[in-house]
């Protein structure tokens, strides 16, 4: 969702900004633009891909060493060139890019209109640009960095809603100003140059150090220095962090798409999720970041897991795993429902907010609501500098590395791995024996290698995906631990191939889903050799009897599937509770290859955003 990058330094700004925008593409966008200062402000913006903007700049070059740029994901106002950012104030001398939503923009706009302002777009952002410009004029005196910062502060105090912004003014060419509330913004520190970005990936390779700004921070950037203050003008305590990622982490390397690269990274990302967290001595998991004593962990009576999209599916797997390993009642709720639902929760309920980005607006709101009610609220995040990671009372990092493909893949398996560690930890302080603990740990340690085995079948999975590319719709069916995997398999297929896909518990087939079965509607059964294997086989027979093609995910050596399904993809044997970590891999590859076959842009699917930072 909307991406910002700003630059002030000694190099040409346009190539740096365009490269940064390309790296932010994964967040999801529908238009892009930039403004560069070189005596006067010049702007280039258009709807569509960054390639369109690059072409525009090729035709109408733009030079200068200070600039701001933006990828827009429309919320207020349609997808048009006029609505693309940057936006200008009434004087045309101040430019602004914005991520977030100005909730009271209508009221502010009416006021500004009555004062004689003219607007060119339908966006809430343009209103903010005018408001800052108005304050800049009203402050009077010499045009200077402090005056611009003062104007930004004054305007933001009138605003309700969320923002991450970058601002510049023709009269103050040595200064960029940034501010945030609710939308991420990072300051990148270079040599003789500084950056602002929504996401550190945009400035990897340029900035070695970064400051992850906090809500209500206002930052002033010069070429050689920066200053971070609060919205009230006070001193902001901030921390300079090393930029940990390399350019390899944010590039596709030899892979045609980020999604495929990330699917193939899963042996390592899973290894990283469990590394250092299995204690042989105590035969249990160690999750120090939870900040809870063994007694506090024992006192947990109920767990609520919340998240959105794929994170919610991982939570659903977590519900089965935690209840199986630890016997702690566990419930899953979409974060968007949780935040408005008044769930009765006793005092020993612990809430986990699960989010790869750590910035999803609904998940953040669910976390805050849970904390408001006095519950210990922990995070399971990938982005260590994220708002959810910062605001939670503790948690577990996924350590999956940057996930750029919009369709979440490695973050799902990392989330499931972390929830399994949690199940093991809670189980061991309840009823699991030392030998149970050792057995579970050994099985977990074997998972990365088993994922590697599945990935070796990539070519075969591609062939199968191509065979079913004719499908009009697709059903994904599974039971128990693999019911959430069916949901996730369907979500992957919808997101990147735009094929109608539904995920259901296999047994629900007879209660409606079966009406949709036909030769044009294949079913994917997730049917490993587990406690419900035979039940799944019966469900497959029911589909076959209605001429529905069946692709099955089964366990090596389980021959019954061959007899009933049209195609079978095998996973290595593992305990039931770990099977989602394996069964999901062929489904990710299946969706990927089918989408590529259909000519879809898998890394940037239509209408989707990687990080949904508005409600
Ligand atoms: C968006 C993404 C999904 C993701 C969901 C939650 O919808 O497109 O892939 O699962 O947000 O994201 P989070 O960062 O909170 O895990």
With beta carbons less than 8 A apart as the criterion, state whether 473 and 516 touch: yes
Question: Per the structure block, which two tokens stand in for 22?
Answer: 């390309």
pLDDT for the residue numbered 331:
97
Instruction: Measure 356 CA to ligand 1 centroid, in angstroms.
Output: 7
With beta carbons less than 8 A apart as the criterion, state whether 217 and 180 touch: yes
Q: How confident is the model at residue 263 (pLDDT cuts 50, 70, 90)?
A: very high
Q: Which fold has domain 252-455?
A: Rossmann fold (3.40.50)
Average pLDDT, the chain: 95
Q: Do domains 252-455 and 457-615 have the same CATH topology?
A: yes
Report the atom number in ligand 1 closest to the C-alpha of 407: 9
Q: How, if at all, do strands 330-334 and 349-355 pair?
A: unpaired
CA torsion sign, 442 to 447 to 448 to 453? positive
Whole-number Å distance between alpha carbons of 92 and 88: 5
pLDDT for the residue numbered 611:
78
Whole-number Å distance between alpha carbons of 466 and 589: 11
Q: What is the pLDDT of residues 348-360, one digit of tens each?
A: 999 999 999 999 9
Mean pLDDT of all residues in 266-292: 95
With beta carbons less than 8 A apart as the criterion, state whether 455 and 576 touch: no
Q: How confident is the model at residue 43 (pLDDT cuts 50, 70, 90)?
A: very high
Report helix, strand or coil for 305: strand
Which residue among 29, 262, 611 has the greatest number of ligand 1 atoms within 8 angstroms of its CB, and so is best to mutate? 611
The reply to whether 610 belongs to the active site is: yes
Question: Per the structure block, which two tokens stand in for 341?
Answer: 């639902």
The label of the residue with tokens 């049917």 reads 527
Question: Per the structure block, which two tokens stand in for 213?
Answer: 């700004």
Question: Per the structure block, which two tokens stand in for 58?
Answer: 């090729």
Instruction: Measure 124 CA to ligand 1 centroid, in angstroms.
Output: 24
Whole-number Å distance between alpha carbons of 352 and 306: 6
The label of the residue with tokens 């974060």 reads 335
Q: How confident is the model at residue 612 (pLDDT cuts 50, 70, 90)?
A: confident
Q: Whose CA is nearest to atom 2 of ligand 1?
A: 610
pTM: 0.85
DSSP conformation letters of 51-85: HHHHHHHHHS----SEEEEEEE--SSS-S-TTTSS
Mean pLDDT of all residues in 562-570: 96
Report the atom number in ligand 1 closest to the C-alpha of 495: 8
Which residue among 73, 263, 310, 395 has the greatest number of ligand 1 atoms within 8 angstroms of its CB, and so is best to mutate? 310
Q: What is the largest CA-CA distance in the chain?
A: 84
Domain ranges of the chain: 3-250, 252-455, 457-615
Instruction: Measure 467 CA to ligand 1 centroid, in angstroms.
Output: 29
Which residue among 610, 613, 615 has the greatest number of ligand 1 atoms within 8 angstroms of its CB, and so is best to mutate? 610
pLDDT for the residue numbered 615:
74
With beta carbons less than 8 A apart as the criterion, state whether 13 and 67 touch: yes
Instruction: Measure 95 CA to ligand 1 centroid, in angstroms.
Output: 31
Q: What angle do CA 438, 442, 448 make, to 5 degrees?
A: 155
Q: Whose CA is nearest to atom 3 of ligand 1?
A: 309
Which residue among 26, 262, 263, 408 has the greatest number of ligand 1 atoms within 8 angstroms of its CB, and so is best to mutate? 408
Instruction: Measure 528 CA to ligand 1 centroid, in angstroms.
Output: 27
Report the atom number in ligand 1 closest to the C-alpha of 383: 14
β-partners of residue 47 are 31
Report the atom number in ligand 1 closest to the C-alpha of 608: 8
Instruction: Measure 363 CA to ligand 1 centroid, in angstroms.
Output: 10
Q: What is the pLDDT of residues 409-422, one digit of tens each?
A: 999 999 999 999 99
Residue 379 CB-half CA count within 13 A: 29
Q: How, if at all, do strands 241-242 and 194-197 pair?
A: unpaired
With beta carbons less than 8 A apart as the criterion, state whether 171 and 143 touch: yes
Report CA dihedral (93, 212, 416, 350) to the nearest 10 degrees: -110
Share of the chain above pLDDT 90, in %: 87
Instruction: Measure 26 CA to ligand 1 centroid, in angstroms.
Output: 12
pLDDT for the residue numbered 449:
98
CA torsion sign, 279 to 281 to 283 to 287? negative
Does residue 344 or residue 473 have the better pLDDT?
A: 473
Quick check: 53 pLDDT over 90?
yes
Report helix, strand or coil for 152: helix
Report the atom number in ligand 1 closest to the C-alpha of 609: 8
CATH 3.30.200.20 fits 3-250, yes or no: no
Task: Using alpha carbons, select from 181, 176, 163 the residue that is nearest to residue 220.
Answer: 176
DSSP alpha helices (H): ranges in 100-159? 105-114, 124-139, 145-157
Quick check: 614 pLDDT over 80?
no
Instruction: Measure 58 CA to ligand 1 centroid, in angstroms.
Output: 34
With beta carbons less than 8 A apart as the criterion, state whether 132 and 152 touch: yes
Report the atom number in ligand 1 closest to the C-alpha of 411: 16
pLDDT for the residue numbered 568:
97
β-partners of residue 351 are 304, 377
With beta carbons less than 8 A apart as the criterion, state whether 73 and 82 touch: no
Q: How confident is the model at residue 29 (pLDDT cuts 50, 70, 90)?
A: confident
| CATH (residue range 457-615) | 3.40.50.10490
Q: Which of 2, 381, 574, 600 is catalytic?
A: 2
Q: How confident is the model at residue 455 (pLDDT cuts 50, 70, 90)?
A: very high
Report the atom number in ligand 1 closest to the C-alpha of 307: 15
Instruction: Measure 466 CA to ligand 1 centroid, in angstroms.
Output: 27
Question: Per the structure block, which two tokens stand in for 549?
Answer: 């093609």
Q: Which of 134, 261, 410, 610 is catalytic?
A: 610
Residues with Cβ within 6 A of ligand 1? 307-311, 355-357, 360, 363, 406-408, 608, 610-612
Report CA dihedral (527, 530, 531, 533) to the nearest 10 degrees: 30
Edge-to-edge order in the sheet of strand 567-571: 500-505, 473-478, 523-526, 550-555, 567-571
Q: What is the pLDDT of residues 221-237, one digit of tens each?
A: 999 999 999 999 998 88
With beta carbons less than 8 A apart as the criterion, state whether 163 and 99 touch: yes
Whole-number Å distance between alpha carbons of 540 and 508: 12
β-partners of residue 70 are 4, 33
């Amino acid at each position: 969702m909307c991406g910002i990058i700003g630059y002030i330094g000694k190099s040409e700004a346009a190539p740096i900004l365009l490269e940064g925008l390309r790296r932010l593409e994964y967040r999801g966008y529908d238009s892009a633009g930039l403004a560069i200062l070189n005596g006067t402000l010049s702007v280039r913006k258009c709807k569509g891909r960054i390639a369109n903007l690059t072409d525009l700049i090729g035709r109408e070059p733009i030079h200068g060493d200070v600039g701001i740029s933006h990828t827009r994901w429309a919320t207020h106002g349609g997808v048009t060139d006029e609505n693309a950012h940057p936006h200008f104030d009434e004087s045309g001398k101040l430019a602004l890019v914005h991520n977030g939503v100005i909730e009271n923009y209508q009221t502010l706009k009416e006021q500004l209109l009555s004062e004689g302002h003219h607007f060119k777009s339908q966006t809430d952002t343009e209103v903010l640009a005018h408001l800052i410009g108005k304050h800049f004029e009203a402050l009077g005196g010499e045009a200077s960095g402090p005056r611009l910062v003062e104007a930004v502060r004054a305007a933001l105090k009138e605003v309700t809603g969320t923002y991450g912004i970058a601002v510049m003014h023709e009269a103050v060419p040595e200064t960029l100003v940034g501010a945030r509330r609710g939308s991420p913004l990072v300051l990148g520190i270079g040599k003789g140059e500084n950056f602002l970005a929504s996401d550190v990936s945009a400035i990897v390779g340029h900035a070695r150090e970064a400051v992850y700004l906090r809500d209500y921070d206002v930052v002033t950037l010069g070429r050689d220095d920066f200053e971070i203050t609060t919205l009230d003008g006070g001193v902001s305590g901030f921390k300079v962090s090393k930029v940990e990622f390399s350019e390899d982490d944010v590039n596709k390397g030899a892979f045609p798409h980020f999604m495929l690269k990330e699917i193939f990274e899963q042996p390592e990302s899973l290894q990283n999720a469990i590394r250092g967290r299995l204690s042989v001595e105590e035969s249990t998991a160690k999750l120090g970041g939870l900040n809870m004593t063994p007694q506090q962990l024992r006192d947990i009576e109920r767990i609520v897991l919340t998240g959105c999209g794929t994170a919610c599916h991982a939570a659903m797997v977590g519900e089965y795993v935690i209840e199986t390993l630890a016997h702690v009642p566990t419930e899953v709720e979409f974060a968007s429902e949780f935040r408005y639902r008044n769930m009765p929760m006793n005092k020993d309920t612990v809430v986990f907010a699960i989010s790869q980005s750590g910035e999803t607006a609904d998940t953040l709101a669910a976390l805050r609501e849970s904390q408001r009610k006095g519950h210990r609220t922990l995070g399971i995040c990938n982005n260590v500098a994220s708002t959810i990671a910062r605001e939670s009372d503790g948690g577990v990092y996924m350590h999956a590395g940057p996930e750029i493909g919009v369709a979440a893949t490695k973050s799902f398996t990392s989330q499931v791995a972390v929830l399994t560690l949690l199940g093991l930890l809670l189980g061991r302080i309840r009823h699991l024996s030392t030998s149970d603990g050792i057995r579970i740990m050994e099985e977990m340690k074997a998972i990365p290698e088993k994922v590697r085995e599945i990935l070796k079948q990539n070519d075969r999975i591609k062939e199968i995906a191509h065979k079913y590319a004719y499908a009009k719709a697709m059903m994904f069916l599974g039971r128990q631990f693999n019911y959430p995997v069916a949901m996730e398999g369907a979500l992957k297929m919808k997101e990147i191939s735009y094929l109608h896909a539904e995920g259901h518990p296999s047994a629900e087939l007879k209660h409606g889903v079966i009406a949709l079965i036909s030769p044009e509607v294949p079913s994917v059964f997730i049917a490993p050799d587990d406690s419900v294997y035979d039940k799944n086989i019966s469900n497959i027979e029911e589909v076959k009897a209605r001429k529905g093609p069946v692709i099955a995910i089964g366990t090596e050596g389980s021959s019954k599937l061959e007899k009933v399904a049209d195609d079978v993809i095998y996973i290595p044997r593992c305990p039931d509770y770990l099977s989602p970590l394996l069964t999901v891999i062929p489904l990710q590859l299946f969706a990927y290859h089918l989408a590529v076959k259909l000519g879809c842009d898998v890394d940037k699917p239509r209408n989707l955003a990687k990080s949904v930072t508005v409600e």
